[in-house]
A and B are shown apart, each in its own frame.
Chain A
């Protein structure tokens, strides 16, 4: 005697959802999968050309800092934008089959992570070309920061995807907030541009912490600030926990929203 449950293999469902998502994204283009690698490389080339040749910025590490910041920011923005709509997009499946909906949330993150990964490979190409002071031995630190960012994204997606089924404006609101985030994070300008007295407030933004610390370990070769990183980690975990609780509470009623 039990309540009806999804009896399938969750891992297999997750795998197929990711795979079809991936096929749909790249299968219809002529270059197909090559785009995944080519796109970040081309975008990076344009940025480097514009900022180091046209603007003649003296700091030789500037383009690398910019690339890394943009890479992390794009991962965040792409993954959350996909996350917002991931339940609404799958409403036709959700209304017909009872499966763990958290799988849909995780799927939305994986493909953005794949783009991020290939973007990072392109970044490494530029890294070897510039040869900055940071060392690749610090890669484990960077992986920790990416993990924190991913936890934050998943936690936010738990919130956003549910709210979007009730309030379709959320997508436009979120797009504006993402623009705001782009300029409130040290991506196109270094942290040193921010007046000292505002830096503490500025670093309350976990994305800013993740970006500055990534730049520190991989590019500028500064020391890893464990205090800031712990703060980012704790806030990401809190977002994940509250997101998960909210999600579990609301998901039972989700079918009434479609």
Chain B
């Protein structure tokens, strides 16, 4: 087993201004040019190795550092200390529909979101039909996105996202989308990903899904790993604690 993702002693601290001062007027009125800051440790000396082909579930209360963990792995935040090593092509789904613009047509949004997710235009062209039919929006393809229901927007976003090819996927609360029919379709996609041996990290509050898909789970609280192990064991401990 080779490690797809390795974190050594990763610490990420945010400097949060106690008062938001991003205008010159406020700074001058307060007679200080440096705003006071409070540091908040989102991740504290995290050691984590995810094997290639492994599905890891991350659970924990809001603000425990789950999303920050994914963002550090995705390279959006650089860690203050420690190292992050990623082997393989990484696709971050930290949110569905990144860059979606309500004033653009669904078709234009497919192109925009596709390239933001790292797809080449040639590939989007090839997958266009698949994306549109998977989302089930063929009759509305030239309509502006703002006329879509929120459910339809998420379906479109999900359909684009699953077309981006990679070895490692980071999913932040993106499992529970769409209606029953769409969820069944999504389920098939995940099963296929599992067969193909993709590495996946799932952040979710839907503990049943973690149990269903993941090989291992970690429980994060205040930026530390409290428990790591079999999903059933970790979830049981977590729910008991809450």
**Residues of A bordering B, CB below 8 Å:** 1-9, 12-13, 15-17, 19-20, 23-24, 27-28, 92-99, 166-169, 173, 252, 255-256
Contact = CB atoms under 8 A, between A and B. Distances in A.
B239 interface: no
A8 B85 contact: no
22 contacts: A1-B85, A4-B84, A5-B75, A7-B89, A7-B90, A7-B118, A8-B116, A9-B120, A16-B111, A16-B116, A17-B115, A20-B101, A20-B104, A20-B108, A23-B104, A24-B103, A27-B103, A96-B94, A97-B94, A168-B22, A169-B24, A256-B15
A166 B84 CA distance: 28
A231 to B, nearest CB: 32
A12 B114 CA distance: 10
A166 B22 contact: yes
9 A-B pairs closest in CB distance = A8-B118, A4-B75, A98-B75, A169-B24, A16-B115, A12-B121, A96-B98, A9-B120, A13-B115
B46 to A, nearest CB: 16
Interface of B: 14-15, 22-25, 71, 73-78, 84-87, 89-90, 92, 94-95, 98-99, 101, 103-104, 108, 111-112, 114-121, 166
A99 B116 contact: yes
B158 to A, nearest CB: 15
A166 B27 CA distance: 12
Contacts of A169: 23-25
Nearest to A16: B115
Contacts of B103: 24, 27-28
A98 B112 contact: no
Given A7-B90, A24-B104, A92 B98 contact: yes
A9 B74 contact: no
Contact of A255 (B76, B108, B166): B76
Contacts of A95: 71, 76, 94
Contacts of A24: 101, 103-104
B76 A98 contact: yes
Given A1-B87, A8-B120, A93 B98 contact: yes
A3 to B, nearest CB: 6
A74 B77 CA distance: 37
Nearest to B14: A256
A8 B117 CA distance: 7
A58 to B, nearest CB: 46
B15 A98 contact: no
A19 to B, nearest CB: 8
B99 A168 contact: no
Given A1-B87, A3-B86, A93-B98, A8 B76 contact: no
Contacts of B25: 169
For A20, A23, A96, the residue with the greatest tally of chain B CB atoms inside 10 Å of its CB is: A96
Contacts of B89: 7
Nearest to B24: A169
A6 B23 contact: no
Given A12-B121, A97-B92, A169-B24, A3 B75 contact: yes
Given A93-B99, A96-B94, A255 B116 contact: no
A17 B104 CA distance: 12
Contacts of A13: 115-116
B118 A6 contact: yes
B101 A167 contact: no
B35 to A, nearest CB: 10
A7 B75 CA distance: 12
A251 to B, nearest CB: 10
Contacts of B115: 8-9, 12-13, 15-17
A4 B121 CA distance: 22
Contacts of A28: 103
For B76, B85, B119, the residue with the greatest tally of chain A CB atoms inside 10 Å of its CB is: B76
A256 to B, nearest CB: 6
A247 to B, nearest CB: 16
A25 to B, nearest CB: 10
Nearest to B94: A96
